[in-house]
A and B are shown apart, each in its own frame.
Chain A
Amino acid sequence: GENVEQHPSTLSVQEGDSAVIKCTYSDSASNYFPWYKQELGKRPQLIIDIRSNVGEKKDQRIAVTLNKTAKHFSLHITETQPEDSAVYFCAANPRGQGAQKLVFGQGTRLTINP
Protein backbone atom coordinates (compact mmCIF):
# COMPACT_ATOMS: atom_id res chain seq x y z
CA GLY A 1 0.00 0.00 0.00
CA GLU A 2 0.86 3.67 -0.14
CA ASN A 3 3.52 4.90 2.28
CA VAL A 4 4.09 8.63 2.83
CA GLU A 5 7.25 9.79 4.58
CA GLN A 6 7.53 13.38 5.81
CA HIS A 7 10.61 15.31 6.92
CA PRO A 8 11.61 16.98 9.10
CA SER A 9 9.45 16.10 12.10
CA THR A 10 10.20 19.49 13.67
CA LEU A 11 11.36 22.73 12.08
CA SER A 12 12.19 26.03 13.68
CA VAL A 13 12.82 29.16 11.59
CA GLN A 14 13.18 32.86 12.23
CA GLU A 15 10.26 35.08 11.34
CA GLY A 16 10.65 36.29 7.78
CA ASP A 17 12.74 33.33 6.68
CA SER A 18 11.49 30.49 4.45
CA ALA A 19 10.42 27.01 5.54
CA VAL A 20 10.49 23.85 3.44
CA ILE A 21 8.83 20.54 4.29
CA LYS A 22 9.39 17.47 2.15
CA CYS A 23 7.39 14.31 1.54
CA THR A 24 7.98 11.15 -0.44
CA TYR A 25 5.37 8.62 -1.52
CA SER A 26 5.59 5.05 -2.75
CA ASP A 27 2.59 4.51 -5.05
CA SER A 28 3.41 5.73 -8.56
CA ALA A 29 -0.32 5.79 -9.34
CA SER A 30 -0.96 8.54 -6.78
CA ASN A 31 -2.15 11.72 -8.51
CA TYR A 32 -3.37 14.05 -5.76
CA PHE A 33 -1.23 15.62 -3.03
CA PRO A 34 -2.86 17.93 -0.48
CA TRP A 35 -1.24 19.76 2.43
CA TYR A 36 -3.05 20.39 5.70
CA LYS A 37 -2.27 22.79 8.53
CA GLN A 38 -3.33 21.89 12.06
CA GLU A 39 -3.12 24.44 14.83
CA LEU A 40 -3.01 23.23 18.43
CA GLY A 41 -6.33 21.73 19.44
CA LYS A 42 -7.91 22.46 16.09
CA ARG A 43 -8.90 20.46 13.03
CA PRO A 44 -6.64 19.91 10.01
CA GLN A 45 -7.36 22.50 7.35
CA LEU A 46 -6.46 22.24 3.68
CA ILE A 47 -4.02 24.98 2.70
CA ILE A 48 -2.97 23.91 -0.80
CA ASP A 49 -3.09 20.88 -3.06
CA ILE A 50 -1.49 19.79 -6.30
CA ARG A 51 -2.44 17.31 -8.96
CA SER A 52 -0.06 15.14 -10.92
CA ASN A 53 -0.48 17.03 -14.17
CA VAL A 54 1.15 20.10 -12.59
CA GLY A 55 4.72 20.53 -11.34
CA GLU A 56 4.21 23.59 -9.16
CA LYS A 57 1.38 25.59 -7.63
CA LYS A 58 1.54 28.82 -5.69
CA ASP A 59 -0.90 30.67 -3.45
CA GLN A 60 0.51 33.89 -2.00
CA ARG A 61 3.29 32.86 0.42
CA ILE A 62 2.69 29.15 0.01
CA ALA A 63 3.88 26.97 -2.86
CA VAL A 64 4.01 23.26 -3.51
CA THR A 65 6.29 21.45 -5.97
CA LEU A 66 5.88 17.92 -7.28
CA ASN A 67 8.47 15.62 -8.83
CA LYS A 68 6.61 12.58 -10.11
CA THR A 69 9.72 10.81 -11.33
CA ALA A 70 11.33 10.95 -7.91
CA LYS A 71 7.96 10.57 -6.13
CA HIS A 72 8.41 13.51 -3.85
CA PHE A 73 6.64 16.79 -3.21
CA SER A 74 7.45 19.77 -1.03
CA LEU A 75 5.74 22.64 0.74
CA HIS A 76 7.44 26.03 0.66
CA ILE A 77 6.40 28.89 2.93
CA THR A 78 8.08 32.24 2.32
CA GLU A 79 8.24 35.30 4.56
CA THR A 80 7.11 33.23 7.53
CA GLN A 81 4.97 34.82 10.22
CA PRO A 82 4.16 33.74 13.80
CA GLU A 83 0.70 32.57 12.71
CA ASP A 84 2.37 30.00 10.44
CA SER A 85 3.36 28.06 13.58
CA ALA A 86 1.42 24.77 13.43
CA VAL A 87 1.73 21.12 12.48
CA TYR A 88 1.71 20.53 8.73
CA PHE A 89 0.67 17.24 7.13
CA CYS A 90 1.21 16.07 3.60
CA ALA A 91 -0.91 13.33 2.04
CA ALA A 92 -1.22 11.26 -1.10
CA ASN A 93 -4.03 9.21 -2.58
CA PRO A 94 -3.18 5.54 -3.09
CA ARG A 95 -3.88 3.93 -6.46
CA GLY A 96 -4.86 7.28 -7.93
CA GLN A 97 -8.35 7.16 -6.44
CA GLY A 98 -9.02 10.89 -6.35
CA ALA A 99 -9.99 12.17 -2.94
CA GLN A 100 -11.33 8.80 -1.95
CA LYS A 101 -8.79 7.85 0.66
CA LEU A 102 -5.66 9.69 1.67
CA VAL A 103 -2.55 8.44 3.40
CA PHE A 104 -1.00 11.11 5.61
CA GLY A 105 2.60 11.76 6.55
CA GLN A 106 3.55 11.89 10.21
CA GLY A 107 3.48 15.67 10.34
CA THR A 108 6.00 18.51 10.77
CA ARG A 109 5.80 20.80 13.76
CA LEU A 110 6.80 24.24 12.47
CA THR A 111 7.75 26.94 14.94
CA ILE A 112 8.29 30.53 13.81
CA ASN A 113 10.56 32.41 16.18
CA PRO A 114 9.89 36.16 16.45
Chain B
Amino acid sequence: DAGVIQSPRHEVTEMGQEVTLRCKPISGHNSLFWYRQTMMRGLELLIYFNNNVPIDDSGMPEDRFSAKMPNASFSTLKIQPSEPRDSAVYFCATARTGGPNQPQHFGDGTRLSIL
Protein backbone atom coordinates (compact mmCIF):
# COMPACT_ATOMS: atom_id res chain seq x y z
CA ASP B 1 0.00 0.00 0.00
CA ALA B 2 1.68 3.21 -1.19
CA GLY B 3 -0.40 5.46 1.04
CA VAL B 4 -1.79 8.83 0.03
CA ILE B 5 0.59 10.48 -2.42
CA GLN B 6 0.85 14.25 -2.64
CA SER B 7 2.90 16.40 -4.97
CA PRO B 8 4.85 18.55 -4.90
CA ARG B 9 6.32 18.17 -1.40
CA HIS B 10 7.49 21.77 -1.43
CA GLU B 11 6.42 24.74 -3.51
CA VAL B 12 7.85 28.24 -3.42
CA THR B 13 6.35 30.81 -5.74
CA GLU B 14 5.68 34.50 -6.02
CA MET B 15 2.36 36.04 -5.14
CA GLY B 16 -0.06 36.25 -8.00
CA GLN B 17 1.05 32.95 -9.49
CA GLU B 18 -1.23 29.97 -9.89
CA VAL B 19 -0.50 27.02 -7.61
CA THR B 20 -1.74 23.48 -8.18
CA LEU B 21 -1.45 20.80 -5.51
CA ARG B 22 -2.07 17.17 -6.37
CA CYS B 23 -3.26 14.12 -4.48
CA LYS B 24 -3.55 10.44 -5.32
CA PRO B 25 -5.72 8.55 -2.83
CA ILE B 26 -5.16 5.09 -1.46
CA SER B 27 -6.69 2.55 -3.83
CA GLY B 28 -10.24 1.73 -2.76
CA HIS B 29 -10.68 4.88 -0.69
CA ASN B 30 -13.62 6.86 -1.99
CA SER B 31 -13.59 9.83 0.39
CA LEU B 32 -10.96 12.53 -0.05
CA PHE B 33 -10.29 15.53 2.18
CA TRP B 34 -8.13 18.63 1.68
CA TYR B 35 -6.79 20.28 4.84
CA ARG B 36 -4.67 23.37 5.51
CA GLN B 37 -2.39 23.52 8.55
CA THR B 38 -0.97 26.72 10.03
CA MET B 39 0.34 27.61 13.47
CA MET B 40 -2.41 30.15 14.00
CA ARG B 41 -5.44 28.20 12.79
CA GLY B 42 -4.36 24.59 13.27
CA LEU B 43 -5.73 21.89 10.99
CA GLU B 44 -8.67 23.16 8.93
CA LEU B 45 -10.83 21.16 6.55
CA LEU B 46 -11.13 22.98 3.23
CA ILE B 47 -13.28 20.59 1.19
CA TYR B 48 -14.12 16.93 0.93
CA PHE B 49 -15.36 14.58 -1.79
CA ASN B 50 -17.31 11.34 -1.72
CA ASN B 51 -17.11 9.22 -4.87
CA ASN B 52 -15.54 12.15 -6.72
CA VAL B 53 -18.42 14.51 -5.83
CA PRO B 54 -17.75 17.59 -3.65
CA ILE B 55 -19.85 17.26 -0.51
CA ASP B 56 -18.80 20.15 1.69
CA ASP B 57 -16.71 23.11 0.55
CA SER B 58 -17.64 25.41 3.42
CA GLY B 59 -14.02 25.55 4.53
CA MET B 60 -12.69 26.92 1.26
CA PRO B 61 -11.48 30.39 2.23
CA GLU B 62 -12.48 32.31 -0.88
CA ASP B 63 -13.01 32.11 -4.62
CA ARG B 64 -9.28 32.00 -5.25
CA PHE B 65 -9.37 28.38 -4.05
CA SER B 66 -10.86 25.58 -6.13
CA ALA B 67 -10.70 21.79 -5.95
CA LYS B 68 -11.54 19.05 -8.40
CA MET B 69 -11.66 15.29 -8.40
CA PRO B 70 -12.02 14.19 -12.03
CA ASN B 71 -11.70 10.50 -11.15
CA ALA B 72 -11.23 8.16 -8.22
CA SER B 73 -7.43 8.30 -8.53
CA PHE B 74 -6.69 12.00 -8.59
CA SER B 75 -7.60 15.32 -7.03
CA THR B 76 -6.24 18.84 -7.33
CA LEU B 77 -6.40 21.92 -5.16
CA LYS B 78 -5.75 25.13 -7.05
CA ILE B 79 -5.04 28.63 -5.78
CA GLN B 80 -5.26 31.45 -8.31
CA PRO B 81 -3.99 34.05 -7.72
CA SER B 82 -1.86 33.06 -4.74
CA GLU B 83 -1.18 35.43 -1.82
CA PRO B 84 1.42 35.33 0.99
CA ARG B 85 -1.29 34.46 3.53
CA ASP B 86 -1.88 31.20 1.67
CA SER B 87 1.49 29.95 2.91
CA ALA B 88 0.82 26.77 4.89
CA VAL B 89 1.12 23.00 4.77
CA TYR B 90 -1.67 21.46 2.73
CA PHE B 91 -2.62 17.87 3.50
CA CYS B 92 -4.74 15.46 1.56
CA ALA B 93 -6.38 12.61 3.47
CA THR B 94 -8.50 9.72 2.25
CA ALA B 95 -10.83 7.15 3.79
CA ARG B 96 -13.11 4.31 2.85
CA THR B 97 -16.84 4.93 3.11
CA GLY B 98 -19.48 2.34 3.73
CA GLY B 99 -19.57 0.93 7.23
CA PRO B 100 -19.09 2.96 10.36
CA ASN B 101 -16.33 5.42 11.09
CA GLN B 102 -13.50 4.63 8.75
CA PRO B 103 -10.30 6.48 9.74
CA GLN B 104 -8.68 9.09 7.56
CA HIS B 105 -5.14 8.51 6.29
CA PHE B 106 -3.01 11.56 5.57
CA GLY B 107 -0.46 12.16 2.85
CA ASP B 108 2.93 13.74 3.58
CA GLY B 109 1.63 17.21 2.71
CA THR B 110 2.74 20.05 0.47
CA ARG B 111 4.61 22.88 2.16
CA LEU B 112 3.60 26.01 0.26
CA SER B 113 5.43 29.31 0.54
CA ILE B 114 4.10 32.36 -1.29
CA LEU B 115 6.63 35.18 -1.46
Give residues 30-55 of B contacting A (CB, 8 Å). 31, 33, 42-43, 45, 48, 50, 55
Shortest beta-carbon distance, B36 to chain A, in Å? 11
Nearest A residue to B91, CB-CB? A43
Chain A's closest residue to B42 (CB) is A106
Known: A98-B101, A99-B97, A99-B102. A43 touches B48 (CB 8 A): no
Residues from chain B with Cβ under 8 Å of A89 in the complex: 42-43
Q: How many A-B residue pairs have CB under 8 A?
A: 59
> B18 interface residue, CB < 8 Å from A?
no
Known contacts A93-B101, A98-B101; is-contact A107 B108 (Cβ 8 Å): no
A103 at the interface (CB under 8 A from B): yes
Interface contact B105-A46, CB-CB below 8 Å:
yes
Whether the pair B42, A102 counts as a contact (CB closer than 8 A) is no
Instruction: Please name all residues of chain B whose beta carbon is closer than 8 Å to the beta carbon of A32 when the two chains form the complex.
Output: 100-101
Residue tally, chain A, CB below 8 Å to B? 23
- Report the nearest B residue to A50, measured CB to CB: B101
Contact: A98 with B106, CB < 8 Å?
no
- Asked if A49 and B101 make an inter-chain contact with CB atoms under 8 angstroms apart, the answer reads yes
| Contacts A49-B101, A51-B101 given; does A100 touch B55 at CB 8 Å | yes
| Cα distance, A34 to B100, chains bound together (Å) | 13
Q: In whole angstroms, how far apart are the Cα atoms of A19 and B105 in the complex?
A: 25
In the bound complex, residues from chain A placing their C-beta under 8 Å from that of B56 are 101
| Interface bits A27-68 vs B (CB < 8 Å: 1, else 0) | 000011010100000111110010100000000000000000
Cβ contacts under 8 Å, B43 to chain A? 44, 89, 104, 107
C-beta contact mask, B80-115 vs A, less than 8 Å → 1, else 0? 000000000001000111001111111111000000
